[in-house]
Structure 1
Amino acid sequence: MARIVKRGKGYQIRVSDGYTAKGKQNVKTMTWTPRPNMTDKQIEKELQKQAVLFEQKCQGLSESADIKFETFAKQWFKEYAEPRLRVRTVDRYKQYTARTYTAIGSLRLDKITPRHIQSFINNLQEPGINQKVGEKEPPKGLSPGTVRNYLSFISTVFDYAIRMNMLKDNPCSRVVLPPRNYKQRDCYTLEEAQKFLKFLQFESLMYRVFFTLAIYGGFRKGELLGLEWKDIDFDSCVVSVNRTSLYSKSKGGIFTDTTKTKGSLRSLKLPVSVFDLLRQYKVQQAQDRLKMGDRWIDTDRLFTAENGKPLGNSTPLKWLDDFFERTGLRKVTIHSFRHLNASLLINAGVDIKTVSATLGHSQVSTTLNIYAHTFAQAQAKASEAVADALKLDDKKQA
């Protein structure tokens, strides 16, 4: 918006015209002097008109739009991403820079067309691009989700350029993406989960608590590692999720962050049996703290290393892999216990909004997309139950 300043007999009109490649604001000015004998009302009206006209004149593109994509993207990381986005999001975007810079990094920002980006997106899907495949597996392209993440990174950089008045259009808006691939989530059956819990009874108390909460609460790994004793309400049997514990090399290791979304801030009421286990564990941790004495670092975390520091993010997975080797149980990921929780809720007939809130999803549509197959199976069972009931009534009538 134009700024008007009185200067002697005239007025100076100042308009911001975006930013230079170095992040410095461009300011353009003009001076308007009213004609003699103009009334105050006429001056005010004409002054506003001149300000609007000058502002419209300044809406042209910034000269800094000739900057190369790689150069501008690095500025975007420094000026926008690192101060405003979540650490894990920034780390993920940085993983996409190598391929992106190779493809379009040397092109001028204002010369990149939808065709340039479409060619890059198509290339990401070609067999052999994905390096994370086994030796015996056929060559693969990147997954549809990963391809979408690449485009999201590029598009976000262009959005920032538009906000800086360097461009008027985002070429990513016309790129065609591969269809989403919502796979059926691999998790234990009810019988497998019961067997897992049976074997778990003979393990260390900390991991009994960790995986019991994972199954009964459907918590994410970072949410479990971020739990503190003040989040445990023993009187009402409620566990509250208020933070997440994550790992980032750029942050120097383990750090505490906000939850994934606002919807992830939630409180869940869990069975009394789960809280009986939590009580045992709290007593044991207190005893461990006394043994360590001054070497104990008080963090209030439920899951800690021997000295009280937050448990490493990869430690539960290493323990789980060893557990599978010792017991012979089918291997699954820690996140699969979250899917197990969702499946049990859905098959129990819990409504979609409650399932979504329990999992901490920001939107119900997210839950529907992820668990579409499970909902379909539950609906089919419900339909079969109705059909069986009607057949039974028919027999009675006959």
Structure 2
Amino acid sequence: MAGSIQKVGNKYRITMETGKDFSGKRKRTYTTAISEAEAKKILAEFEYNQQRGMLVESSQMIFSEFLDHWMDNYVQYNCEETTVYGYKNILKHMKDHIGQVELQKLQSGHLQEYYKYLMETKKLSPNTVHKHHACAKKSLSYALKQQLVYRNVADGVSLPRRKRFEGQSYTKEQLRELLQLVKGTRLELPIFLAGYLGLRRGEIVGLKWKYVDLDQRVIHIQEVRTSAGKNVIVKAPKTEKSRRTLYIEDELLELLQACKEKQSEFKKVFGEGYHNTGYVYVHENGKPYRVNTVTEQFKDFLEKNSLRRIRFHELRHTFTSILYAEGVDLKAISEALGHSDIGTTNRIYTHVFDKTHKNTISAMSQALRTP
């Protein structure tokens, strides 16, 4: 027998025999579980790992120390900078609340209580709790591979149901009004790019002139700009499908031509003081705008002009909903958006699509009509 289970009060103590030391004395490790079923599972997993020669050495490492180890030895070398930044923010809360628990004594109950704390005390949304859980689960998966723990306790947690976010969108009349009002302002270019092409914010602020062919009337999406705290990150789009080429319609072509002419004029005015960064959306001196600037200015512009408030990203929703209403094929919309597959488009934008399947049913009705 590799171990035993003993009930102690309302909990169950698991004793695991890990062999003998040099003097012949038995080596044991202990942990607790909140139910007999969980205790049996822990012991069974320990025995299985013991049979495979995957014994875990006893360690006094606390969870906080392990998370630092995971960040330093795995995350820093395998994740993008934006992911690293997001993990750091999550781990700060995690270490403050359950960081002092010994890694090998960490139980599903600790994580369960932590998620409850996030929702009830910190007032975080279920979706944010899912992000914390994903981080915890990934870190403990690493611990399991490194043979620091017997199992991934994150697998035993019950998570709150996600709240499905439904983005808003403008009608074509509302978008037309916005495009008219924004003309001549510094928001004109980003709003036109979002409204006419459905570009993401990072694609707009990351667009360079070398990817804009005014003669062939096409824009190549090859780079994005994003931020992780104060750091600005320039990188390739997330997926291969996000690297796409889009046609430039007349209205947008005229705007881009005018924008390029203005930049040429400012280069002469500023001379050596001009920052020739190559970006399309820039200040008068050529410096690109901060990533968050367009979001902040868009919110202010809507309030100033008494327009219905939507997020800047929801101009992308608007692009999608208007095209769908105009009868454009969903696959074509998905490709224009740069989604990896049509399922992604359907999942994200299902709220803007025809839930009554009017076109489909009407087609059947039309087919059955008597000639």
**TM-score normalised by the shorter chain: which range applies?**
0.7 to 0.9
**Contact 1:182–1:369 (Cα < 8 Å) also in 2:** no
2:232 to 254, 260, 272: 254
Q: CA–CA distance in 1 between the matches of 2:163 and 2:192?
A: 30
Q: Find the counterpart in structure 2 of residue 89 from structure 1.
A: 83
Question: Structure 1 residues 325, 115: closer, same or farther in 2, change over 3 A?
Answer: closer
Q: Secondary structure at the match of 1:98?
A: helix
Dislocated runs of 4+, deviation >4 Å: none
Structure 2 unaligned spans of 5+: 1-50
Q: CA deviation at 1:271?
A: 1.7
TM normalised by structure 2 equals: 0.79
Question: Unaligned regions of 5+ residues in structure 1, if any?
Answer: 1-55, 131-141
1:128-147 pair list within 5 angstroms: 128-130=121-123, 142-147=124-129
Corresponding position of 2:68 = 74
Corresponding residue SS for 1:247: strand
- 1:29 is matched with none
- Residues 1:149 and 2:131 aligned together: yes
Q: In the alignment, does 2:279 pair up with 1:301? A: yes
Task: Give the drift of 1:100.
Answer: 1.4
1:317 Cα offset (Å): 2.6
What TM-score does the superposition give when structure 1 sets the normalisation length?
0.74
Q: 1 CA distance for matches of 2:354 and 2:210? A: 39
For 1:136-285, list aligned pairs within 5 A.
Answer: 142-201=124-183, 203-204=184-185, 206-249=186-229, 252-285=230-263
For the structure 1 residues 306 and 82, does the alpha-carbon distance in structure 2 shift closer, same or farther, using more than 3 Å as the test? farther
Conserved? CA contact 1:182–1:370, under 8 Å: no
Q: Identity of paired residues, percent?
A: 28
Q: Per-residue CA shift, 1:80-127, capped at 9, x if unaligned? A: 22232122212122222233123321112122122222222233333x
Q: Which residue of structure 2 aligns with residue 371 of structure 1?
A: 349
Take 2:281 and 2:344, find their aligned partners in 1: how far apart are those partners?
29
CA shift for structure 1 position 63 = 4.2
- CA distance in 1 between counterparts of 2:111 and 2:93 reads 12
SS in 1 for 2:353: helix
User: How many residue pairs align between the two structures?
Assistant: 322
Q: In structure 1, what is the Cα distance between the partners aligned to 2:116 and 2:341?
A: 30
- What is the CA–CA distance in structure 2 between the aligned matches of 1:84 and 1:68, rounded to whole Å? 23
Residue of structure 2 in register with 1:60 after alignment: 55
The correspondence for 1:380, drawn from 357, 362, 367, is 357
Measure, in 2, the Cα distance between the counterparts of 1:328 and 1:170: 52
Counterpart residue number, 1:286: 264
Letter in 2 for 1:129: K
Deviations 1:164-194 (A, max 9, x none): 2323421112322222322321121121111
Distance 2:109 2:328 in 1: 46
Deviation at 1:70, TM superposition (A): 0.8
Q: Deviations over 1:219-252 (max 9, x none)?
A: 1111110000011122332211112112233xx4
Alpha-carbon displacement from aligned partner over 1:120-143 (angstroms, at most 9, x marks no partner): 2233333x532xxxxxxxxxxx22
Where in structure 2 are the equivalents of 1:322-341 lying within 5 Å? 322-341=300-319
